[in-house]
């Protein structure tokens, strides 16, 4: 039996956990990290990163298909699914290895296994005992099942199976049109599947601004995706190698189904209840410095609540490490966390939706369609819009909602603006480079105050 002492022990090596570990080590603390699977967590191994490899492949496939319109003759593009999936796994593997290196470089001790608390300062991993002054829960979240439908890895997939398909389903049903469902819909449609996307809420991408979600919906329908909102699935039965789904009282057959109905925090088996760590609606409750109801136990990332996004986790990891080290970091502002969906067209946003902003007080709204943006026309990708929302009295940028090419890279501009608390005056006074898609951001701001130039 080995006993080790740490200033901070981090449970979970995802983007929240490993970032927190590095920041704590930078601040001179003795840090240990426990991981039960692979460093990098879901994000790097089974989420953000491998799916971006697949979606990039889909983008290239789509562009190749439309190359003729640019004067390039390629013929009809073909794909090799096995190679495509292998590349996405290689990318994940390469980056996970990189984290292992970062841990060594920062002298963070990594232990593999399941962690559980003996008491609030003692954590057990296998036969090892860790005495820790502070513990950071960064255990993440797992895909949810529906009460009547469970993923089986065979024909009913959750994200993990959906990004390592053994075959290309001819007819695919996707249940849940959040960011994950929509990205898979985009990927499989581009690869030629007939995709049906159903969502119980009245809009797809329910977290996004309704107007943007409606544009995305029309675009998906135009691409041949069947989109059913306000719709649930009543039953799903396996028959031979097919699935029979009962939707709205009628039956349809599919070759595979993806369940993307949200995530639940990984809080089981740690012994949190015995310690009195407060949990609210399945997520661990924290204060603005990420501390739980138990002094010295912190929680970051998915396990500490929505939005379940990697960059929220890593930022909270930084805050929490600095707080433990005795600094007073600026707490995270949840309304300033950007969100990105890498479908075609891409969707990106930060801040309040129009509905939420208008409930808060008088607002001004700017809109600029990419159809009027020179660069978008030049690259033959004009399907999209930039929408900005300002507080009418203070000029505070309350929200920015974008759909179209490149928006997931551009949203950081508005994130910086919000973080610096710029008003409309500063954004208007900023020179945006020409010709870029980002000019549409500038025009959208101008439009909110009746000053748009090119539309």
Residues that bind another protein (CB under 8 A): 278, 287-289, 291, 295-296, 323-324, 326, 328, 330, 359, 362, 393-396, 420-423, 425-426
Q: What are phi and psi of 46, to 5 degrees?
A: -135, 25
- DSSP secondary structure letters along 142-177: EEPPBTTB---SSSEE-HHHHTS-SS--SEEEEE--
The minimum distance between CB 297 and another protein, in angstroms, equals 11
Sign of CA dihedral 353, 179, 334, 265: positive
Considering beta carbons, is residue 180 or 319 the nearer one to another protein? Answer: 319
> What minimum distance in Å lies between the beta carbon of 293 and another protein?
8
* Closer residue to another protein, CB minimum distance, 134 or 349: 134
Contact, 32 vs 103, CB < 8 A? no
Smallest separation, CB 229 to another protein (Å) = 17
Least distance (Å) from another protein to the CB of residue 119? 11
Specify the DSSP class assigned to residue 284. E
Which residues in 236-264 are b (16+ Cβ under 10 Å) and which e?
Answer: beeeeeebebebeeeeeebbbbbbbbebb
Alpha-carbon span 110 to 309, nearest angstrom: 23
Residue whose C-alpha is closest to residue 341's, from 181, 189, 145? 181
Q: How far is the CB of 61 from another protein (least distance, A)?
A: 43
Distance in Å, CB of 230 to another protein, minimum: 14
Q: What residue ranges in 192-249 does DSSP mark as E strands?
A: 194-198, 226-228, 233-239, 242-247
The catalytically annotated residue of 56, 150, 434, 442 is 434
DSSP string, 299-313: E-GGGG-SS--HHHH
Of 29 and 411, which CB lies nearer to another protein in the complex structure? 29
Shortest spacing between CB 314 and another protein, in angstroms? 17
Residue whose CB is less far from another protein, 147 or 326: 326
Kindly list the distances between the CA atom of residue 97 and the CA atoms of 47, 104, 167, 188, 311, in Å, as whole numbers in the listed order. Answer: 16, 11, 28, 29, 20
Nearer to another protein, 235 or 393 (CB): 393
Cα distance between residue 44 and residue 141, in whole Å:
14
Q: Which is nearer to another protein, 34 or 323 (CB)?
A: 323
Tokens 């007819």 -> residue: 171
Enclosing H/E stretch for 181: helix 179-190
Sorted by sequence, the CB contacts under 8 Å of residue 340 that are 6+ apart come out as 179, 346, 347, 348, 407, 408, 411
- C-beta separation of 8 from 322 below 8 A: no
DSSP-H helix ranges across 223-283: 272-275
Nearest distance from residue 209's CB to another protein, in Å?
20
Quick check: is 434 catalytic?
A: yes
CB of 412 or CB of 423, closer to another protein: 423
Query: Given strand 194-198, what is the order of strands in its sheet?
Result: 156-157, 256-259, 171-175, 194-198, 226-228
Contact 285, 123 (CB under 8 A): no
Q: How many residues make up the chain in this entry? A: 455
- When the beta carbons of 287 and 409 are compared against another protein, the nearer one is 287
Residues with a known catalytic role? 434
């Amino acid at each position: 039996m080995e006993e080790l002492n740490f200033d901070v022990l981090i449970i979970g090596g995802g983007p929240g956990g490993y970032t927190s570990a590095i920041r704590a080590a930078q601040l001179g603390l003795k840090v240990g990290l426990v991981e039960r699977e692979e460093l990098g967590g879901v994000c790097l191994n089974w989420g953000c990163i491998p799916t971006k490899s697949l979606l990039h492949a889909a983008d290239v496939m789509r562009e190749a298909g439309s190359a003729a319109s640019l004067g390039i003759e390629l013929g009809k593009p073909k794909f090799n699914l096995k190679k495509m999936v292998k590349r996405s796994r290689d990318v994940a593997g390469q980056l996970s290895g990189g984290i292992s290196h970062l841990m060594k470089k920062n002298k963070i001790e990594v232990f593999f296994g399941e962690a559980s608390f003996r008491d609030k300062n003692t954590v057990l991993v296998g036969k090892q005992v860790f005495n820790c002054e502070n513990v950071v829960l960064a255990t993440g979240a797992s895909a949810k099942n529906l009460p009547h439908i469970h993923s089986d890895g065979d024909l009913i997939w959750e994200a993990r199976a959906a990004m390592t398909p053994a075959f290309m389903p001819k007819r695919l049903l996707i249940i849940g049109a959040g960011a994950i469902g929509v990205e898979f819909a985009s990927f499989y449609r581009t690869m030629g599947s007939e995709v049906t996307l159903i969502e119980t809420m009245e809009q797809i991408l329910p977290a996004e601004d309704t107007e943007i979600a409606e544009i995305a919906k029309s675009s998906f329908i135009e691409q041949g995706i069947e989109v059913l909102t306000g719709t649930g699935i009543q039953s799903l039965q396996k028959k031979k190698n097919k699935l029979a789904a009962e939707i709205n009282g009628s039956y349809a057959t599919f070759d595979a189904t993806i369940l993307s109905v949200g995530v639940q925090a990984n809080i089981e088996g740690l012994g949190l209840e015995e310690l009195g760590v407060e949990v609210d609606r399945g997520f661990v409750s924290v204060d603005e410095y990420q501390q739980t109801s138990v002094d010295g136990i912190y929680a970051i990332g998915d396990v500490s609540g929505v939005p379940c996004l990697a960059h929220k986790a890593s930022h909270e990891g930084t805050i929490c490490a600095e707080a433990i080290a005795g600094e007073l970091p600026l707490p995270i502002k949840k309304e300033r966390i950007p969100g990105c969906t890498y479908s075609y067209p891409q969707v990106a946003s930060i801040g309040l939706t129009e509905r939420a902003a208008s409930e808060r007080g008088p607002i001004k709204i700017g809109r600029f369609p990419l159809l009027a943006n020179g660069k978008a026309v030049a690259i033959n990708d004009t399907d999209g819009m930039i929408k900005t929302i300002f507080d009418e009295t203070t000029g505070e940028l309350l929200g920015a909602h974008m759909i179209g090419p490149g928006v997931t890279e551009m949203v950081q501009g508005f994130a910086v603006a919000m973080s610096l608390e710029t008003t409309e005056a500063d954004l208007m006074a900023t020179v945006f480079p020409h010709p870029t898609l980002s000019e549409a951001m500038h025009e959208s701001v101008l439009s909110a105050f009746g000053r748009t130039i090119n539309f």
